[in-house]
Amino acid sequence: MKRPGIVFLDAETIGEVNSFYVLTKLGNLTVYQSTPEELRMERIHGKEIVITNKVIINKEVIDACPSMKLVCIAATGMNNIDLEYASLKGITVRNVAGYSTESVVQHTFSLLFYLMGNLRYYDDFVRQGTYAQSRLFTHHGRPFHELAGKKFGIIGMGTIGKRVAIAATAFGAEVYYYSTTQRNLDTGYRHLPLSKLLTECDIISIHCPLTASTRDLIGYEELRKMKKEALIINAGRGGIINESDLACALNENLIGGAGLDVLLKEPPDTGNPLFHIDHPGKLLITPHIAWASCESRERLMQGIIDNITDFLAGR
């Protein structure tokens, strides 16, 4: 049987992965670290299998690349592919689901505990030499609190949200949630209307997708409802929290702090208001890495390998 041509259009999006070499056993592999829009057709031309994370495969590309038989998405979301037209043209599209759950859950709590423990302040206290000059073995410059006994509100009780709930419960928190679809209402945890969740909970953790109904779900008025010491974490999607409104809320000390792994625009503009807040210690932003533990990326690659293997075997 002729070895299929395989092209990975944006391999840099998943970084170094130990099992990457397995792709060379499945076909004649060509790898590009990134692919600009104007080179998509040229690079896909003559290839049967295309692997992409963020490179868009639309009607124009599909029509220009008749050899394409399988598109493997190096992610869960499939919004970068014209699925309807691909199906019409007999092209199989496969994604990978569930590979990042543990990574996202862990990073959610990394963001939370950094903020809860005032770790930026205490790290600076030591690094700047202040601790070395102290006459005490300890320091109480900034208060921090335990998660045990706190009310932990989750927005979006899907697979990740449920796993976050289990972890929060293990730390002794009381878990409540708001379902953005109003379909996930039988979880074993108490469901609250969004307004009540924001008013009552000490921590708000977001794990829902970005849709028409969740865009700007959390704006200035919603942030005003939260407790002054409350923390909000977004490991879902940028755009769910209005970033300008969050900057205002942090500047006005309406909430205790925010931890974000996602932004509306990625990479962001340097003029993003979150980069210019009055109290930078109240905000922690990471560059969309919650999904990307080494183990998670290995599971993602294995999912891609499995999808190609199944396709070649006619499954």
Q: Which amino acid is at 236?
A: G
The residue annotated as part of the active site, out of 145, 266, 276, 295, is: 266
Six-digit token pair at 21? 């070499």
In the numeric block, which tokens belong to residue 227?
């407790």
- For residues 40 and 157, what is the distance between their CA atoms, to the nearest angstrom? 37
Angstrom CA distances, 208 to 31, 172, 254, 298, stand at 33, 23, 23, 24
C-alpha span between 8 and 281 (Å, rounded): 40
Residue 140 carries which side chain, given as an amino acid letter? H
The number of angstroms, rounded, from the C-alpha of 114 to the middle of its chain's C-alpha atoms is 18
Q: How far is CA 76 from CA 38, 73, 93, 182, 299, in A?
A: 25, 7, 12, 22, 12
Of the listed 174, 200, 288, 298, which one is catalytic?
288
Cis-peptide into 267, omega within 30 deg: yes
Return d(Cα 258, Cα 229) in angstroms, integer.
11
Catalytic, 120? Answer: no
Query: Which among 40, 107, 237, 299 is annotated as catalytic?
Result: 237
Is 237 tagged catalytic?
A: yes
Taking the C-alpha atoms of residue 161 and residue 204, their distance in angstroms, rounded to an integer, is 11
Burial (CB < 10 A; 0-12, 13-18, 19+), residue 84, is exposed
Burial class for 209, CB neighbours closer than 10 Å (0-12, 13-18, 19+): middle
Spatial distance between the Cα atoms of 208 and 240, rounded to a whole number of angstroms? 9
190 is catalytic: no
Active site residues: 237, 266, 288
